[in-house]
């Protein structure tokens, strides 16, 4: 039988987890209860969306299940329709669930560390971006190189450097290099070099 | 990758060398396994018996840093035993080209070497050309100055015995591996290579890959399904970030960064647009001005005009020969010359070679902006081990950004498949998508310059920066369309009419007169009038080869296998009719998007040679463009365990830059550091571990740094499995759990016995507390002379019991 993913979800949802699991011949009570719980979430309140694994360069497909009320991801799993991974994932891809808001250790605030300080201070975006912009301008204007030793026009800045990132989307990689180059930076590098 | 992941299943023999794909690209093994089920063989060559080796049909070991010796021996085997695909070699490679009289090679050095500059005069390696400027050829491959004869001569020295003395690989194993792989030189068979950082992170990194490329060309494996040269990319979008040129030496789409000696756009375009005499050479880069002008239109929008050279002079220029790559960047930072620094989605305090130097360099900055989803060793460097926060004046801004599932956009995998990702949820707390951070920060800077003026404000003010939606939020679709490109006027191109504002259907329509934009010509065709091609999810597979041409989109123009016109004979029929990647039906090509639509080679008037990105149109057995020679040659790593290079008097690669600073110490054949060290990754962690060390499931599975060593070495050092030991190099030390296994074995190099150990580089002091440190505290500041990729895979260490325990 050729079953598409959506049909599979519908079938497995209709017959329940018990039938499929009981054939293993062991007591799967707790697992079944958990599976039912997840399925109820998935079916009743979750939104499915596809993503591509953020780790290695294989590019495996993953389905995210988002709780439409709470707004957080409640489950992730390999995308069986994806031609490369056909639903399989490695240890990292399988753990994608723990990367988003489910992870209590995510950075949630803008942090600032003053010169010589031994601690972080929480700051607002408005403050931080304005302060960074001022520093960029000050350093750039102070160290801007209009001409090189031979008198050739070069219009560059060597006192500011940028690295990163291969973890960005293409639509972010392009503007990040564009803004750094518009500022005159030549030390523009990232993971591909190492 | 010239090919793509699923295509591995079409291979008759897969060589996995310089990669532990089973651990680091686990899902690739699905397709390696399919190849095995189809009768294909797998060879694993690695200093250590890895998870990949465990599924291989044949495994053998080599000492880190000796791959060229191993591969050079294979080239010799192929030539001596005439295992090469002769029709392919004669017609599609430069085997028949005659090399000019000034090329020479003697005792490890090519002609033209200047020891003061540590550089070659590469003009001495050019091809001999006729009166029209077309390379002279000898189709019989008999001329002693033909590429094939010079190749034969060069590798005649790479005898199995000599190779074995260098690599430590038993002679019998060499012969087995060579025979298995060379079996793909028949026209009905295809072999492929899977390599990763095990080949690139060496002072001969590029030449490792060149050596394999020569093998692939000799065996007629490039362009074929199941063939190609396949670099396994370690990051989900490192292909894309390279395509978009977050690198000092290129502009998006692999255009060259401008230099001081080219003050105008005309001079720039002229310099980088090759002129080729042979009418049958496609010379694809003749389109260079179309791509550069379209890029400048994306940079500067309406302010880029013909009169101002489309804003060419607004972009920074390097001095000729100036190298701003990673190692030089941190060297300059260490010297106090860099004042401000953006570390955006990257953790150099653990990922940079010689990380102690990187960490010290960070302390010399005035300000540091660190954008990440988790705390990391770079942003928090000022409170790291041995640091005194009071003494560190660097201001640090730590900006929380969105994870991949919290924003929308595309990433391109190793097989060049560009796939769209959707947003599943909002980022936590105040965290923002990186695109928004960029847009807002540059907006602030623009406003400052508008208000206050300042040095050379033109490029800042003129930068086109409208990639936002109605709410002012970053709009990935808008940027994706700009990457593709627009028509900027009503025009007619190649008989087709376009309106201003139309998306350009493919890069064949881009113009050099400012009537088109394209932020990256390679991405032209990815988001067209037909919609977002990257989001496609259709799965027809008419060839049965797993191309899945309607799933997502790949560059260039959705061509799934590069150089695919080399997969057919001169009449356009597949070398192997059972694997018809493309086929000429008399009028057009059927199958994959062909590498140009010209008829096959037997149509001597209308055809073009298949290697369209090379100026002459032929695959390069002789490659005169690299800094360290037209043929790969074995040199020892900067730090190595042997007193001399068994192949020549030239000990290390003569063209590497030697860093001489106080933190750049390196020792070779030093009794204090007698063991070869290497670095690698584990499945559960990713790169420096900054995204994975914060995840409970993963850190439980792989909690702590270890050093893997042989039973023989452990016995020698009195070390037992599981105890804490110290691994040290000239530059730093890491305390590790000893993992004593049979996966490493001592190498016999002639009379010498050499041990090797390996340390993963995915740990760091921020988290977990008992997890240990990065292996990059040990690695040297030295890079490949072409790419400047650091030599993190072969260096010298010592391993000792930790007195008093951990």
A95/A122 same-domain check: no
The 10s digit of each residue's pLDDT in B706-726 is: 999 999 999 999 999 999 999
Domain final residue, candidates A99, A123, A144: A99
Q: Which residues of A touch B790 (CB under 8 A)?
A: 194
CB-nearest partner of A148 from B241, B260, B459: B260
Domain final residue, candidates A52, A73, A99: A99
Q: How many CA atoms lie within 13 A of B67 on its CB side?
A: 32
Secondary structure in 3-state letters for B23-87: HHCCCHHHHHHHHHHCCCEEEEECCCCCHHHHHCCEEECCCCCCHHHHHHHHHHHHHHCCCCCHH
A80/A146 same-domain check: no
The pLDDT score that the predictor gives to residue A8 is: 42
The 10s digit of each residue's pLDDT in A45-83 is: 799 999 999 999 999 999 999 999 999 999 999 999 999
Q: How far A137 CA sits from the closest chain B CA (Å)? A: 7
The structural domain count of chain A equals: 2
CA distance A35 to B679: 40
Q: Which residues of A touch B791 (CB under 8 A)?
A: none
CB-nearest partner of B405 from A57, A64, A91: A64
A90/A118 same-domain check: no
Domain final residue, candidates A55, A79, A99: A99
CB-nearest partner of A169 from B374, B409, B537: B409
Q: Which long-range contacts (CB under 8 A, 24 or more apart) does B711-714 make?
A: B711/B740, B711/B741, B711/B742, B712/B745, B712/B746, B712/B755, B713/B675, B713/B744, B713/B746, B713/B755, B713/B757, B713/B799, B714/B738, B714/B740
A80/A121 same-domain check: no
Mean pLDDT of chain A: 86
A117/A178 same-domain check: yes
The pLDDT score that the predictor gives to residue A16 is: 36
Share of chain B above pLDDT 90, in %: 100
Residue with tokens 């003749």: B286
A82/A120 same-domain check: no
A187 pLDDT above the threshold of 80: yes
CA distance B720 to B781: 32
Nearest CA in chain A to B431: A108
Q: Which residues of B touch A94 (CB under 8 A)?
A: 697
The 10s digit of each residue's pLDDT in B401-443 is: 999 999 999 999 999 999 999 999 999 999 999 999 999 999 9
DSSP category for residue A44: I
The pLDDT score that the predictor gives to residue B165 is: 98
Instruction: Mutation target for B interface from A45, A116, A138, A182: give the one with most B CBs within 10 A.
Output: A182
Instruction: Mutation target for B interface from A111, A172, A183, A187: give the one with most B CBs within 10 A.
Output: A172
CA distance B757 to B738: 10
The 10s digit of each residue's pLDDT in A17-32 is: 333 333 344 455 555 5
Quote the tokens at residue A74. Answer: 């409640």
Q: Do B342 and A166 touch (CB under 8 A)?
A: no
Q: Do A175 and B697 touch (CB under 8 A)?
A: no
The pLDDT score that the predictor gives to residue A101 is: 83
CB-nearest partner of A57 from B239, B326, B332: B239
Instruction: Mutation target for A interface from B397, B453, B476: give the one with most A CBs within 10 A.
Output: B397
Share of chain B above pLDDT 70, in %: 100
A92/A133 same-domain check: no
Instruction: Mutation target for A interface from B261, B299, B425: give the one with most A CBs within 10 A.
Output: B425
Residue A131 falls within a domain, yes or no? yes
The pLDDT score that the predictor gives to residue A12 is: 39
A150/A175 same-domain check: yes
Q: Do A51 and B412 touch (CB under 8 A)?
A: no
Q: Do B241 and A95 touch (CB under 8 A)?
A: no
Residue A35 falls within a domain, yes or no? no
Q: In terms of C-beta density within 10 A (0-12 exposed, 13-18 middle, 19 or more buried), how is residue B117 classed?
A: exposed
The 10s digit of each residue's pLDDT in B47-96 is: 999 999 999 999 999 999 999 999 999 999 999 999 999 999 999 999 99
Residue A24 falls within a domain, yes or no? no
A118/A47 same-domain check: no
Q: Do B316 and A154 touch (CB under 8 A)?
A: yes
Q: How far apart are the first and last CA of chain B?
A: 44
Q: Which long-range contacts (CB under 8 A, 24 or more apart) does A10-18 make?
A: A12/A39, A13/A39, A13/A43
The pLDDT score that the predictor gives to residue A42 is: 54
Q: In terms of C-beta density within 10 A (0-12 exposed, 13-18 middle, 19 or more buried), how is residue B116 classed?
A: exposed
* Cis, peptide link before residue B203, omega less than 30° from 0: no
Q: Are B243 and B412 in contact (CB under 8 A)?
A: yes
User: Which among A46, A187, A171, A131 is positioned nearest to B395, based on CA atoms?
Assistant: A131
CA-CA-CA-CA torsion for B785, B788, B789, B791, nearest 10 degrees? 60
The pLDDT score that the predictor gives to residue B642 is: 97
Q: What is the mean pLDDT of the segment spanning B170-179?
A: 98
CB-nearest partner of B313 from A54, A94, A153: A153
Mean pLDDT of chain B: 98
Q: Are B685 and B700 in contact (CB under 8 A)?
A: no
In terms of pLDDT, which residue wins out, A14 or B694?
B694
Q: Which residues of A touch B332 (CB under 8 A)?
A: 158, 161, 187
Q: Do B410 and A161 touch (CB under 8 A)?
A: no
Q: Which residues of A touch B413 (CB under 8 A)?
A: 52, 57-59, 84
Q: Do B695 and A155 touch (CB under 8 A)?
A: no
A154/A115 same-domain check: yes
B559 pLDDT above the threshold of 80: yes
Q: Domain residues for A173?
A: 110-189
Return the CATH number at A77.
Answer: 3.30.200.210
Q: Do B480 and A170 touch (CB under 8 A)?
A: yes
Q: How far B744 CA sits from the closest chain A CA (Å)? A: 25
Return the SS3 of B775: helix
Nearest CA in chain A to B325: A189
A114/A94 same-domain check: no
Residue A60 falls within a domain, yes or no? yes
Residue A65 falls within a domain, yes or no? yes
The pLDDT score that the predictor gives to residue A36 is: 57
Residue A14 falls within a domain, yes or no? no
Residue A18 falls within a domain, yes or no? no
Q: What is the CA radius of gyration of chain A?
A: 25
A114/A182 same-domain check: yes
Residue A19 falls within a domain, yes or no? no
Q: Do A184 and B442 touch (CB under 8 A)?
A: no
Instruction: Mutation target for A interface from B417, B455, B681, B700: give the one with most A CBs within 10 A.
Output: B455
């Amino acid at each position: 039988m050729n079953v598409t993913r959506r049909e599979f979800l519908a079938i497995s949802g209709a017959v329940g987890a018990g039938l499929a699991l009981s054939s293993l011949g062991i007591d799967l009570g707790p697992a079944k209860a958990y599976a039912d719980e997840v399925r109820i979430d998935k079916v009743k309140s979750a939104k499915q969306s596809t993503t591509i694994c953020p780790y290695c360069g294989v590019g495996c497909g993953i389905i995210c299940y988002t709780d439409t009320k709470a707004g957080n991801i409640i489950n992730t799993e390999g995308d069986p329709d994806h031609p490369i991974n056909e639903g399989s994932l490695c240890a990292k891809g399988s753990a994608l669930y723990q990367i988003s808001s489910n992870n209590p250790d995510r950075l949630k605030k803008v942090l600032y560390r003053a010169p010589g300080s031994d601690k972080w201070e929480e700051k607002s975006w408005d403050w931080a971006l304005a302060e960074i912009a001022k520093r960029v301008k000050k350093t750039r204007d102070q160290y801007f190189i209009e001409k090189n030793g031979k008198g050739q026009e070069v219009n560059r800045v060597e006192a500011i450097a940028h690295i990163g990132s291969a973890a960005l989307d293409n639509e972010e990689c392009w503007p990040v290099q564009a803004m750094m180059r518009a500022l005159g930076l030549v030390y523009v590098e990232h993971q591909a070099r190492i | 990758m010239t090919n793509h992941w699923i295509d591995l299943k079409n291979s008759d023999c897969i060589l996995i060398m310089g990669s532990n794909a089973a651990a680091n690209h686990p899902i690739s093994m699905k397709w390696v396994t399919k190849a095995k089920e189809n009768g294909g063989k797998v060879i694993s060559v690695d200093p250590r018996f890895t998870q990949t080796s465990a599924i291989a049909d044949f495994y053998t070991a080599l000492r880190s840093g000796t791959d060229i010796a191993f591969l050079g021996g294979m080239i010799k085997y192929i030539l001596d035993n005439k295992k090469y695909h002769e029709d392919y070699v004669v017609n599609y490679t430069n085997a028949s080209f005659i090399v000019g009289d000034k090329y020479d090679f003697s005792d490890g050095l090519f002609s033209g070497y200047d020891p003061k500059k540590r550089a070659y005069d590469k003009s001495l390696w050019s091809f001999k050309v006729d009166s029209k400027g077309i390379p002279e050829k000898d189709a019989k491959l008999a001329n002693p100055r033909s590429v094939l004869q010079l190749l034969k001569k060069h590798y005649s020295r790479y005898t199995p015995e000599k190779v074995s003395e260098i690599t430590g690989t038993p002679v019998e194993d060499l012969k087995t591996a060579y025979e298995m792989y060379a079996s793909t030189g028949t026209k009905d068979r295809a072999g492929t290579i899977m390599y990763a950082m095990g080949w690139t992170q060496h002072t001969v990194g590029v030449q490792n890959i060149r050596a394999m490329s020569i093998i692939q060309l000799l065996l007629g494996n490039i362009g074929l399904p199941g063939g190609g040269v396949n670099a396994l990319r370690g990051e989900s979008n490192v292909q894309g970030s390279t395509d978009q040129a977050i690198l000092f030496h290129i502009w998006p789409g692999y255009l060259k960064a401008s230099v001081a000696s080219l003050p105008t756009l005309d001079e720039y375009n002229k310099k980088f647009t090759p002129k080729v005499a042979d009418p049958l050479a496609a010379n694809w880069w003749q389109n260079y001005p179309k791509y550069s002008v379209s890029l400048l239109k994306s940079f500067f929008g309406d302010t880029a005009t013909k009169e101002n050279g489309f804003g060419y002079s607004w972009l920074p220029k390097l001095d000729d020969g100036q190298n701003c790559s990673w190692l030089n960047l941190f060297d300059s930072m260490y010297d106090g010359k860099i004042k401000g620094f953006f570390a955006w989605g990257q953790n150099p305090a653990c990922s940079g070679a010689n990380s102690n130097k990187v960490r010290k360099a960070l302390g010399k900055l005035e300000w540091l902006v660190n954008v990440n989803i988790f705390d990391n060793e770079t942003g928090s460097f000022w409170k790291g081990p041995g640091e005194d926060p009071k003494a560190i004046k660097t201001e640090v801004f730590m900006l929380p950004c969105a994870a991949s599932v919290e924003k929308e956009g595309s990433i391109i995998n190793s097989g060049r498949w560009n796939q769209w990702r959707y947003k599943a949820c909002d980022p936590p707390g105040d965290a923002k998508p990186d695109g928004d951070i960029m847009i807002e920060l540059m907006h602030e800077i623009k406003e400052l310059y508008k208000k206050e003026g300042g040095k050379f404000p033109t490029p800042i003010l003129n930068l086109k920066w409208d990639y936002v939606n109605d709410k002012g939020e970053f709009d990935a679709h808008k940027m994706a369309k700009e990457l593709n490109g627009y028509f900027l006027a009503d025009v007619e191109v190649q008989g087709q009419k376009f309106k201003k504002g139309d998306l350009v259907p493919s890069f064949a329509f881009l113009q050099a007169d400012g009537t088109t934009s394209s932020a990256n010509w390679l991405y032209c065709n990815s988001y067209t009038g037909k919609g977002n091609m990257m989001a496609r999810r259709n799965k027809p597979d008419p060839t049965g080869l797993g191309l899945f041409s309607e799933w997502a989109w790949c560059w260039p123009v959705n061509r799934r296998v590069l150089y695919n016109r080399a997969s057919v004979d001169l009449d356009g029929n597949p070398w192997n009719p059972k694997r018809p990647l493309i086929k000429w039906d008399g009028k057009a090509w059927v199958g994959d998007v062909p590498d140009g639509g010209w008829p096959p080679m037997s149509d001597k008037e209308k055809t073009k040679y298949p290697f369209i990105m090379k100026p002459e149109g032929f695959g390069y057995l002789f490659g005169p463009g690299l800094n360290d020679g037209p043929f790969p040659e074995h040199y020892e790593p900067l730090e190595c365990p042997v007193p001399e290079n068994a192949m020549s008097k030239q000990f290390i690669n003569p063209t590497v830059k030697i860093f001489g600073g106080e933190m750049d110490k390196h020792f070779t054949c030093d009794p204090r550091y007698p063991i070869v060290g290497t670095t690698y990754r584990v499945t559960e962690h990713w790169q420096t571990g900054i995204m994975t060390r914060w995840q409970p499931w993963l850190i439980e599975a792989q909690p702590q740094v270890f050093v893997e060593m042989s039973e023989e070495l452990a016995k020698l050092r009195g070390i037992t499995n599981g105890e804490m030991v110290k691994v040290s190099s000239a530059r730093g030390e890491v305390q590790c759990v000893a993992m004593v296994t049979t996966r490493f074995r001592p190498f016999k190099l002639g009379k010498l016995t050499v041990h090797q150990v390996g340390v993963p580089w995915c740990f760091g002091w921020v988290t977990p507390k008992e997890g240990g440190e990065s292996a990059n505290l040990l690695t040297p500041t030295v890079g490949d002379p072409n790419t400047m990729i650091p030599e993190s895979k072969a260096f010298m260490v010592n391993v000792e019991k930790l007195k008093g325990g951990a």
